Amino acid sequence: MRLRCLYWRTIVTLPVLIAVHGCGDNTPAGLGDDGPDPDLGVALCTPVGVTSGWSFSHLGAGKKPALAIDEGNNLHAAFIDESTDGWVHYVQLPSGSTVAGEPETVADGCLYGPIDLLIAADGQPRVFYHDHTAGDQVMELRSSAGDWSLQPMPNQGHDGWYNTAVLGQDGTIHTATYDPSGFSGLSVNYGAWSGTAWSVELAALGSFDYAGGMAIAQTADGRVHIAFFDDVAGEIRIASRNGPDDWAVSTVESAGNNLEAGRFPDMVVDRDGASLHLVYLVRSTEDVGMVRYAHGLADALEIRDVTGVTDITIGFSGARDLATLALDASGRPLVSVQTLTRMELLRITDIAATEIASFEAAPGVTFGQHTEIAVDGGGRTHIVWWQSGDPPGAICHAVSG
């Protein structure tokens, strides 16, 4: 068994998602000194369905991946192992290749995701994760020489849960995390990295779970917006920054007759620089729900359904970024959705949400209910996810033709 980091109880990962290795063995199958075997990886990561026009590759072993695309259309990915002797790994996949480079160890220890990743103004990646020992959000900076340096965000409490980050117009890095009620916290925290120092603000007060999901974006007027899930009220909210320590919080959607509305939000800014695109999960029962899409100004969003989902699990070892979005070359939202057994890609227009592709998990494979999406400068769609396979999970990548 692979034990999770301990806080108030011992957690054992779900066997359906995690293969068993020998005691103390953290070397993933298929990931030796020469990196992932490309042929084995393609076979492992190719789902069932109409896959023509798509290329698949194996990026490594881990869970809860994050991705970014640089100006040269190279893919950067980071992923995590949340065991007691865990780690965060980072890889690059050159444009046009299906073979990832050697994984780099960003950090090791008792760490938690979901993590986030962006390409900073210097062209190098920044990786964000929760250090469970220190109780902080941590940003790791990569130098051009490939060295990683630690920049924890100083703050009281046990914060840094569910990291989300965005690069601002002036090169400032904006982040948001939970200081959750499970660790006596009562806030959504905002952090800004100037390049030399952090500044930290309280964006919203409340009793929040660590696993509800969070997203951050900055509009052209310089305002930062944080979408988050209030698990007590069962609703999704947006905190918008009017100025230093000045935040306005509005409700996007309340639960109404549903079980809850608003887990796992993802958010991007429209090409007009002013309006937001937002997706999130509305659950009618424990394992049935609807992915919803909202568009407009932060306090005046129009909402509609995208696609129904079944076969989902929520909890410590359950779904995280179940639905994520990016804008295509024409500025239209693309939404990637993943359940335990199915993955779907949809394009949203003024008329409808249209399915572009759908894949089923191969026999014996369980999806991790966590998917990330990006569109490169050539208009190709990249999707990264994790599934059962290499311990603690197989990190897979798909790119459209």
- Please give the pLDDT value at position 401: 83
CB 310 within 8 A of CB 333: no
Residues β-bridged to residue 291:
281, 307
CATH number of the structural domain spanning residue 46: 2.120.10.10
**Of 300, 301, 264, which is closest to residue 282 (Cα–Cα)?**
264
219-235: average pLDDT: 95
Domain range holding 156? Answer: 31-400
Asked if the structure places residue 238 within a domain, the reply is yes
Number of domains in the chain: 1
Q: For residue 13, tell me if it sits in a domain.
A: no
Kindly report, residue by residue over 82-135, the tens digit of the pLDDT. Answer: 988 999 999 999 998 888 999 999 999 999 989 999 999 999 999 999 998 888
Nearest C-alpha neighbor of 231 from the set 167, 279, 186: 186
Beta strands in 63-208 (DSSP E): 63-69, 75-81, 86-93, 104-109, 111-119, 125-131, 136-142, 148-153, 161-167, 173-179, 187-193, 198-205
Angle ∠(318,322,325) on CA atoms, nearest 5: 160
Domain assignment of residue 8, yes or no: no
Contact 164, 158 (CB under 8 A): no
Query: pLDDT band at residue 43, thresholds of 50, 70 and 90?
Result: confident
Tell whether 84 is covered by a domain: yes
From CA 187, how far away is CA 202, in angstroms rounded? 7
In a domain, 21, yes or no: no
Q: Kindly state the average pLDDT of the residues 334-346.
A: 97
**Looking at the domain assignment, is residue 1 inside a domain?**
no
Q: Give the Cα separation of 14 and 31 in Å (integer).
A: 22
Contact 193, 246 (CB under 8 A): no
Q: Does a structural domain hold residue 274?
A: yes
Is residue 16 predicted with pLDDT exceeding 60?
no
Secondary element (H or E) of residue 173: strand 173-179
- Do the domain assignments include residue 296? yes
Mean pLDDT of the chain: 88
Using DSSP's 3-state secondary structure scheme, residue 38 falls into helix
User: What pLDDT was estimated at residue 156?
Assistant: 76
Q: What is the DSSP string of 360-396?
A: EPPTT--EEEEEEEEE-TTS-EEEEEEESSSSS-EEE
pLDDT tier, 27 (very low <50, low <70, confident <90, very high otherwise): very low
Whether the ω angle into residue 392 lies within 30 degrees of 0, i.e. cis, is yes
